[in-house]
Amino acid sequence: MPRKFFKRFMPSQTVVKEHKYLRIFGDVLHEPNLWHINRRSMAGAVAVGLFFVWVPVPIQMLLAAAAAIMFRTNMALSVVLVWISNPFTIPPMFYFAYLVGTWVIGEPPQDFEFHLTFEWLGNELASSWKPFLTGCFILASVSSIIGYFTVSRLWIYAVRKQRSKRKGIPPL
C-alpha cells in the first residue's frame, strides 16, 4: 500500500511542528489536512517539493511549507523533498538549469570557471541571470507536473493491485 511506503520515510508530525524555521506558521501546522497520507495530498506534496527544489533561494523549506499550507498538501513530504537540492547536487542542477535557459532563450552558453565566492556569484549572475532563472522556472514546472501525475498514477495502480489481490482478480 502506498500509505505504508510513505509513512516509513516521513518525519513525524511533532518533529516538523517543532522545527525552528517552521514554527513561524504557528497553529496552522495543527491543521489535520497537512498530515494526511492519501493520493491527492501526497501527489500534491511531490509537486510542491519538486517545484521548490529548482527555486534558487536559501529559504526553499519555508517556501515549500507555505505552498503546502496554501494547497493543502502533505507538509512533511513537501519540506523533505526540497533537500534533493543540497550542497552536492546544487552545482550540477543549476548548471543544467542554466543550459536549459540558454537553449530556450537562444543564447549561446558562456564559458566560466566556478569559484565559491560572493564576488564571483555577483559577477556571473549579473551576466547570466535571465537564462538561469528561465531554466529554473521551466525545470521547476516540468518536474512538478511530472511528479504529480507519476505519484497519482502509481498510487492508483498500487491500490487497484492490492484490491484485486485481495479479491483474487488479476490487476487491470
- Residue 78: inside a domain, yes or no? yes
Question: What would the pLDDT profile of 78-127 be if each residue is shown by its tens digit?
Answer: 989 999 998 899 889 988 999 999 999 998 888 766 665 677 667 777 77
- Predicted confidence at residue 145, as pLDDT, reads 97
- Residue 161: inside a domain, yes or no? yes
- Residue 135: inside a domain, yes or no? yes
- Residue 119: inside a domain, yes or no? yes
Model pTM above 0.85: no
* Beta carbons within 8 Å of 68's beta carbon, 6+ residues apart: 34, 44, 45, 48, 74, 75, 78, 79
Question: What would the pLDDT profile of 5-48 be if each residue is shown by its tens digit?
Answer: 666 666 666 766 677 766 777 767 777 777 778 899 999 999 99
Please give the residue range of the domain that contains residue 13. 2-167
Q: What is the mean pLDDT of residues 123-150?
A: 90
- Residue 172: inside a domain, yes or no? no
- Residue 18: inside a domain, yes or no? yes
Over the chain, what is the mean pLDDT?
83
- Residue 26: inside a domain, yes or no? yes
What's the domain count of the chain?
1
- Residue 87: inside a domain, yes or no? yes
Distances 111 to 123, 127, 159, 166 between C-alpha atoms, Å: 13, 12, 49, 59
